[in-house]
Amino acid sequence: MAIASIIVLLGMLVVVVRGFWKKDVLAWCVVFFLATVLLVSGLFFNIGAPMAERFMYQASVPFIIALVECGRRLWVSSRTRAIHIVPVGTTALVVLALSASAFKTVSRNKAWRTSDDLFLHDLTTSANSARANTYAGIAWIHLCDATNDPAEKRSRVNKAIALFRRSESIKPMYTPNFLNLGAAYSRLDDLRSAEAVWDTARSLDPNSTLLKQYEQYLFDLYYRSGLKAGVDRDNAKAIADLRKAVRYGSLKVDAWYNLGGAYFTTGDTAEARTCWERTLQLGPRNMAAQQGLAALRR
C-alpha cells in the first residue's frame, strides 16, 4: 500500500510538471490537493492528532473537480469518436461512487458515537500507532470509571495498561502514554507504579499541565494519609507519607508544619526545626510554627 501510494504521488507530480504552466485544470487540482494534504500530514509540524478522514475534507474539493474534469474529457472524446457507452459508464460510475460514499458515511457514524468509541474503533485500523494505542487505553480508563462493578473495573483498567505498554514498545519516550499509564495504575491503587511512570513523564516534560494535576492528586492522598497516621500514632508512616506530600506540594504550608510536628513527636528536633523554618519561609505569620520553634529554643 505504501509503495502504491508513492507511485500515485509520483504520477500526480508528473501531471503537475507537464500541465501547470499550460494552466491545465488537472495540474491545478493536484497542486491544490497536495498543498492541503501537506498542511495536515504531520510532516512539517505536529498537528496534535492522528491522521483522519476529516483532515481530507478540504483536499476533497480538488479531488472532486479532477473527477468531473476527467469525466468531461471522456464525454468530449466519446462524442468525437461516436463512443456512446462512455456517458452511460460515467453516470454509472458517479452513482456507484455516491452509493459507496453514502454507505461509508453511515457506517462510520457509528464509530463517532462517542470519543471512546472512535478511539477503540481506530485501533483496529492503526494497531501499530503509539498514539492510537494510548488513546484507546484512555478510552478504557473512561469505561473503567463508568462502571461500579469492581471486577469489571479491574478488567477494563488492565486492558488500558496492556495498550499503554503496547504504545511504549512502539514509541518508548511518548510522554502522554506515561501520564495516562500512571492514571491507570492509580485506578488499581498501585501508587508505587503510578509514581514511577509519572517520574518518567516528568523527566520528559516537567512542565506538563496534566502532570501538575496528578501531583496535586498525590499530594492530597499522601497528606491525608500522613495526618491519619499521626492520629493513629504511627509516626514512621506519618513521616514517610508527609515527606511524600511535601515532595508533590513543596509550597504547602500546612504540610511542612505537620511534617515538623511528626519529627518533633519522635524526638528528631533537627528535622523538626528544618520543617518549621521552611513553614515560616512560605507563611511568615504561621503562629503554630513560630510556637514550635520557640519550644525548640526552650
Mean pLDDT of 101-105: 89
Q: Which residue range forms the structural domain that includes residue 293?
A: 221-297
Per-residue burial over 22-60, b = 16 or more CB atoms within 10 Å of its CB, e = otherwise: eeebbbbbbbbbbebbeebeeeeeeeeeeeeeebeeebe
- Rounded-to-integer distance, Cα 206 and Cα 183, Å: 17
Query: What pLDDT does 297 receive?
Result: 87
Do both 24 and 73 map to the same domain?
A: yes
Which of 171, 206, 241 is the last residue before a domain boundary? 206
Cell of 115: 470519543
Burial of 150 (0-12, 13-18, 19+ CB in 10 A): exposed
Residue 213 lies in a domain: no
Q: What is the pLDDT of residues 235-248, one digit of tens each?
A: 999 999 999 999 99
In this prediction the pTM is 0.73
Q: Is the pLDDT of residue 24 over 60?
A: yes
Confidence bin at 109 (pLDDT 50/70/90): confident
- Choose among 255, 247, 295, 249: nearest CA to 275: 255
Query: What pLDDT does 48 receive?
Result: 76
Cell of 37: 494534504
Helix, strand and coil content of the chain, in percent to the nearest 5, comes to: 80, 0, 20
Do both 200 and 226 map to the same domain?
A: no
Q: Could you give the number of structural domains in the chain?
A: 3
| Contact status, residue 184 vs residue 197, Cβ threshold 8 Å | no
Residue 261 lies in a domain: yes
Identity of the amino acid at 292: G
CA-based torsion, 12, 16, 17, 18: positive or negative: positive
Q: What is the pLDDT of residues 156-184, one digit of tens each?
A: 999 999 999 999 999 999 999 999 999 99
Ranking 79-93, 255-269, 280-294 by mean pLDDT, the lowest is 79-93
CATH code: domain of residue 258: 1.25.40.10
The whole-chain average pLDDT of the chain stands at 90
